[in-house]
Amino acid sequence: MSTLVITELMDIEGIDGIDTYVKNKGYEGLKKALKEYTPDELIEYVKASGLRGRGGAGFPTGLKWSFVPKNPGKPKYLCVNCDESEPGTCKDRDMVTYLPHQLLEGIAICCYAVGINQAFIYIRGEMLEGYEILEKAVEEAVQRNFLGDNILGTDFSLDVVVHRGAGAYICGEESALLSSLEGERGFPRLKPPFPAVEGLYACPTVINNVETLSTLPAIMRKGAEWYSSLGTERSKGTRVLCLSGHVNKPGNYELELGASMRHLIEECGGGVMGGELKAIIPGGASAPMLTKEHLDVALDFEAIAAAGSMAGSGAVIVINDKTCIVKTCLNLDQFFEEESCGKCTPCREGTKWLVDILTRMVNGHGRPEDIDLLKSVCNNILGNTFCPLGDSATSCIMSAFKYFPEEFEHYAHHGCSILEGKKEMAKS
């Protein structure tokens, strides 16, 4: 059994209430941070822990904080990214519903380190329950002076506002999140300037994922050294993996980084359901697929990248051999087509085109030339878009072409899935 860092307290009855949380060493981390560290020391401390962002890109958290100017002459902000919309990802939701105070404590630690007095939690609009729990938790924390003015008798004050999104995946992208929070259209913004310098309302802004911040209290309590002893050389600590798809026991599992995919699927998930393993998407819908060959790949940032995919949001989707890969691609790309913000041409037009072609193929009207066309359209999107969403739309198709080219060929030549066997083409 792996060490639990983030979900350690999750099973305790009533842990979403402040009393239970405080009884279980809650807000100890914050007290320690306020008492024993100056903000600069705290940033160094988090750097030393080796914590990396859990929102997708895996950027070192301490380093990100250190980019924020010390005395910019204007306010600084923290935006907590709780827009969790990546298909397959469901960890932030649990962290917010079960351990809201752990998140708030993490927020307070971060804000103290960076010198922020105003934090926003941007929560996905559909997570109404989480929103209500957070609102209540903020109220409780203010009453107990863990938030609010002069926290615990220091001169550090912090106000936390919970803001609900309106249902757009792109608003999880950090700059689009800022636009949305400011009341503008959810379009990603040009970088540079980077949010650390010019973010929300053109002021220095830190944007962190819920899981990233929820890890901080434990790091404070148990020490950076302890945390960095977990995990691998470059991917420290643990992370919550969201296992879904054709497994017997889907769910959120906290594992030390470096645990293998086999461990997750077979030990934790109870093995593949309804057939043999065919493909694994290791990091949310944006990540390229891997196959059963990759079962022994470790689930850390570097190992997955080396295998040709990405750790992304930590959503592991298991696909069994009764599943048509072309239809899987269609399903995934329908998501990206729906969620494309429409700002840039390749993504706006390209995702629609991909969906159109795949739909036509799945409906039995594929043509041999569609194979090259699909590849070429993917190529034309890849690397040409404004933000990474467009690129993401191509990763499933590109990887499917790599591992399962025959499935596309079959649709193109026979008008049906390879799983349905060779049928005569319906067309005359």
Partner 1 sequence: MADDLVNITIDGHQMAVPKGTLLVEAARQIGIEIPVYCYHPKMKPVGACRVCLVEVENQRRPMMPACTTTVMPDMVVHTRSDNAVEARGAVLEFLLINHPLDCPVCDRAGECDLQDFTQKYGNGNTRFIEQKRHFAKSKQVGKNVVLDRERCIMCQRCVRFCEEIAMEEGLVIVDRGNRSEIGTFEGRSFDSKFSGNVIELCPVGALTAKTYRFESRPWEQQHYAGICNVSSLGVNITVDVRYDEVVRLRGRMNDEIDDGWLSDKCRYSHLAIHSDDRILSPMVRNDQGQLTKVSWAAALERIVQAFPENASQIGLAVGTRLSVEDGHMLLRLGRGLLKTPNVVHEHEAESLGTNTTLTGRVKGCDAADVILCLGSDPAKSHHDFELRIKKGLRNKARLICIGEQPALVGYADYQVIGVASELWSKLKKELKKETTEEESGLRFPKPRPWEAGGETSQDWDALVKEIRGAENVLVVVSGDIAGQGLQDVARDVEDLGWNTAPHGVIHLRSGVNPVGHESIGLIPEWDEDGNQALAKAWEGMNTDSGLSYAEMCRGKTEMLLAFGCNPLAQPESKKPKFLVQAATHPDETTEKADVVLPLSMWVEYNGVYISTDGTVQFNRQAILPLGEAQPAWSIARELCLRLGASDLPENPRAVYSEVGSLHAALAGATYKDFQTPGQYHWSYPQQADLGMPRPDLSAIPVKEPDMPMWMPAPLTGSTVEGAGRLHRGQTPPPVPGQRDPREIAKLLGLNHPMDRTAPPALTAGGAEKKDGYIPLRVVPSTSAEPAGPTPAGRHHEIGVGPRRRVAVPVAQTALLEASDAADNTTEDGGEE
Please state the closest distance from residue 371 (CB atom) to ligand FMN, in A: 27
Residue 192 half-sphere exposure toward CB, CA atoms < 13 A: 4
Residue linked to tokens 């929070």: 181
Q: Considering the complex, what minimum distance in angstroms separates the CB of residue 88 from ligand FMN?
A: 12
Please count the residues of the chain. Answer: 428
DSSP reduced 3-state for 419: helix
220, 32 contact by CB (below 8 A): yes
Partner that binds at residue 56, options ligand SF4, partner 1, ligand FMN, none, CB closer than 5 to 8 Å by kind: ligand FMN
Say how many residues touch ligand FMN, by CB under 6 A.
24
239 interacts with ligand FMN by CB under 6 A: no
Question: Considering only CA atoms, which of 8, 36, 41, 80 is closest in space to residue 238?
Answer: 8
The minimum distance between CB 342 and ligand SF4, in angstroms, equals 5
Alpha carbon distance 223, 343 (integer Å): 44
- The binder of partner 1 chosen from 19, 233, 293, 356 (CB under 8 A): 356
Stretch that binds partner 1, among 1-9, 213-221, 313-321, 354-362 (CB under 8 A): 354-362
> One symbol per residue from 172 to 211: x for binding ligand SF4 (CB under 6 A), - otherwise; what is it?
----------------x-----------------------
229 φψ region: left (φ > 0), alpha (ψ -120 to 50), beta (else): alpha
Of the listed pieces 94-102, 227-235, 268-276, 382-390, which binds ligand SF4 according to CB under 6 A?
382-390
Choose the contact partner of 383 out of ligand FMN, ligand SF4, partner 1, none; CB within 5 to 8 A by kind: partner 1
Please list every residue from 319 through 348 that binds partner 1, using CB under 8 A: 337-346, 348
**Helix/strand/coil percent split, the chain, to 5:** 50, 15, 40
Closer residue to partner 1, CB minimum distance, 184 or 293: 184
CA distances from 208 to 111, 120, 204 (A): 11, 11, 13
Question: Is residue 54 within the footprint of ligand FMN (CB under 6 A)?
Answer: yes
Long-range contacts of 303-307 (CB under 8 A, 24+ apart): 303/232, 303/258
User: In DSSP terms, which residues pair with 52 in a beta bridge?
Assistant: 60
Tell me the per-residue interface mask from 245 to 284 with partner 1, x by CB under 8 A, - otherwise. ----------------------------------------
Token output for 310: 């990405």
d(CA 373, CA 358): 11
How far is it, in rounded angstroms, from Cα 195 to Cα 175? Answer: 7
Element of type H or E holding 118: strand 118-123
Determine if 354 is a binding residue for ligand SF4 (CB under 6 A). Answer: no
The site for ligand SF4, by CB under 6 A, has a size of 14
**Beta carbon of residue 370, minimum distance to partner 1 (angstroms, whole number):** 9
Question: Of the candidates 167, 163, 158, which has an alpha carbon nearest to the alpha carbon of residue 178?
Answer: 163
Binding to partner 1 (CB under 8 A): which residues in 371-400?
Answer: 373, 376, 379-381, 383-386
Per-residue contact string for residues 167-186; x = within reach of ligand FMN by CB under 6 A: --xx-xxx------------
Among 352, 401, 413, 419, binds partner 1 (CB under 8 A): 352
As given in the structure block, the two tokens for residue 299 are: 């689930």
Our finding on whether 183 is near partner 1 (CB under 8 A) is yes
Contact 408, 367 (CB under 8 A): no
Compute how many other C-beta atoms are within 10 angstroms of the C-beta atom of residue 331. Answer: 17
Candidate residues 102, 205, 209, 252; the one interacting with ligand FMN per rule CB under 6 A? 209
Identity of the residue, 238 or 260, whose beta carbon is nearer to ligand FMN in the bound complex = 238
Query: Can you name the residues that pair with 256 across neighbouring β-strands?
Result: 238
Q: Is residue 394 close enough to count as binding ligand SF4 by CB under 6 A?
A: no
340 binds ligand SF4 (CB under 6 A): yes
Of 68, 387, 398, 416, the residue at the interface with ligand SF4 (CB under 6 A) is 387
Q: Which does 57 bind (CB under 5 to 8 A by kind): ligand SF4, partner 1, ligand FMN, none?
A: ligand FMN
- The contacts of residue 169 (CB under 8 Å, 6+ apart) are 83, 85, 86, 335, 339, 389
What are the residues binding ligand SF4 (CB under 6 A)? 170, 188, 340-344, 347-348, 385-387, 389-390
Report the interface residues with partner 1, using CB under 8 A. Answer: 74, 168, 183, 185-186, 190, 337-346, 348-353, 356-357, 360, 373, 376, 379-381, 383-386
